[in-house]
Amino acid sequence: MTKEKKPKGFWSKLPKPFFALAPMSDVTDVAFRNIIAKNGKPDVFWTEFVSCDGICSSGEEILLRDLEYSKEEKPIVAQIFSSNPDNVYKTVKIIKKLGFDGVDINMGCPDRSIEKQGAGASLMKNPKLAVEIIQAAQEASGDLPVSVKTRIGYDRDEIDEWIPTLLETGLDALTVHARTKKEMSSVPANWNHITRVVKLALNTKTIIIGNGDVKSLEDGYKKAKETGAEGIMVGRAIFGNPWFFNPNISLEDIPIETRLNTLIEHTKIFDKKLGDIKNFAVMKKHFASYVVGFDGAKELRMKLMGTNKVEEVEEVITTFLKKIKGI
């Protein structure tokens, strides 16, 4: 069976299967995306999610910094969250003016602070509001594609009720994390669920993107073939490995010096672009990911965790590299 019509914009021009970078708060910011674009660009980038309510308030100036991107990252989708359709409408208008290739609505985040706002995963419990939010985004988007990222259900498998509700809105793309909100990441992602979602979307224009526990490009291609998903979204596997999407490079083949110099570069970009609005501690989760799997990694990691500015990071790593070279 074929889909009735093509999705809007860039979605219909992507290879099949395509690979996308998952939106992860305080991880996939503009600094990390810059590094990934340079070393192994995916077919589609996602921003971190941004609060529509914040964009439509006095916090607009700082939150708009989260929507900064470079031309090397295109096509790029801006992810938003809210339980207020009016604020979604206004934010999508802004996103369109900023030149994004698409807008994505988060309906799967399990964070309690997001759920308390009636957004993220809590929208799975309020399908009527979820539809209103999607329609507000579509009304504001014009020719800008609208997509959703969600899970298979809140505290149980709700694929047969929840997914058709979303598909009926005519989404251009739908990313499904193959776990419930209740499961978080405590159980392995079950990609049989993605197969079911793909079947539900067969007679629609909506592209289905599978998400959850993709360990490598080879694993992603395998999951796409087994499920029929047109897209594969990668999250945690990108930690410490900006080369993930490069088919010609394996992390094991990257020299330690290259990995550590990339970490220095990443830190410098973070400091330049986000240092005035984000705490330096945000970078430390990256230290733990880059610095692993080689002699002296634990000691180096501990020293990096004690740093508080980019100059200290560079000094610690330079000293370590000199030591292993015997200088």
Q: What is the pLDDT along the chain (327 residues), one digit of tens a residue?
A: 455 578 999 999 999 999 999 999 999 999 999 999 999 999 999 999 999 999 998 767 778 888 999 999 999 999 999 999 999 999 999 999 999 999 999 999 999 999 999 999 999 999 999 999 999 999 999 999 999 999 999 999 999 999 999 999 999 999 999 999 998 888 999 999 999 999 999 999 999 999 999 999 999 999 999 999 999 999 999 999 999 999 999 999 999 999 999 999 999 999 999 999 999 999 999 999 999 999 999 999 999 999 999 999 999 999 999 988 765
Nearest Cα to Cα of residue 236 among 152, 177, 195: 177
Is the distance from CB of 218 to CB of 194 less than 8 angstroms? no
Residue 147, by phi and psi: left (phi above 0), alpha (psi -120 to 50) or beta?
beta
Is the distance from CB of 178 to CB of 157 less than 8 angstroms? no
Which one is catalytic: 80, 103, 105, 109?
109
- Return the amino acid letter for 30: V
Residue 204, by phi and psi: left (phi above 0), alpha (psi -120 to 50) or beta?
beta
- What distance in Å separates the CA atoms of residue 142 and residue 164, rounded to the nearest whole number? 23
Domain boundaries, the chain: 13-238, 255-325
Give CATH superfamily name and number for 13-238: Aldolase class I (3.20.20.70)
Q: What is the DSSP letter of 249?
A: -
Distances (CA, A) of 153 to 131, 157, 171, 190: 16, 5, 18, 13
Is 109 part of the annotated catalytic residue set?
yes
Q: Does residue 230 sit in helix, strand or coil?
A: coil
